[in-house]
Amino acid sequence: MTRIEIMKAITVTLILSFTSIYAESTHEHSKKEHKQESHGHSHHVNPFKNEVSKENIEKAAMQEVQSLVVEKKIHKSWKHVPISKIGKTHYGDTDDWVVGFENVKIKNKERRTLYIFVSVSGEIRGTNYTGN
């Protein structure tokens, strides 16, 4: 991935993030309006309503890797490592994406694959080397 592609991915992710934040801050009705007593029936929450595309999940994970490199939390060799695996998983009552990056330059096999956990709405949930 070239620097230009990385910068484009970061820019798109930032724009999408700010759009979501702005939309949430301008949303005027409160959760109280959805209580059964307020208007006689209940609403069921659709957990997939705010689900973003797999492409956006990938961009969010790649941006997180770049941030970790910039913050010097991981070695700079991770900067150009592509996604090696991606899949959905279920923890508790939430569905998340797990995005794996395999860095063959890392000698310690237990630290060779970095996993980024991303919610279906595109929020980073965590990072580790175990995938759990």
Predicted confidence (pLDDT) per residue in 96-122, tens digit:
999 999 999 999 999 999 999 999 999
Q: How much is the pLDDT for 50?
A: 76
Distance CA 125, CA 129 (A): 14
Whether 37 shows a pLDDT value over 70: the answer reads no
* Confidence bin at 35 (pLDDT 50/70/90): very low
Distance CA 37, CA 21 (A): 29
Whether 11 shows a pLDDT value over 50: the answer reads yes
CA angle 105, 3, 97 (to 5 degrees): 65
pTM above 0.85, yes or no: no
| Rg over CA atoms, the chain | 18
CA 119 to chain centre: 5
* Confidence bin at 91 (pLDDT 50/70/90): confident
Q: How much is the pLDDT for 38?
A: 35
Q: How much is the pLDDT for 123?
A: 93
Read off the pLDDT of residues 47-78 as tens digits, 9 standing for 90 and up: 455 788 999 999 999 999 999 999 999 999 99
* Confidence bin at 46 (pLDDT 50/70/90): very low
What are the extents of the domains in the chain?
Answer: 3-34+53-128
Whether 80 shows a pLDDT value over 60: the answer reads yes
**Longest CA span, the chain:** 62
Distance CA 71, CA 61 (A): 15
Mean pLDDT of the residues in the chain = 75
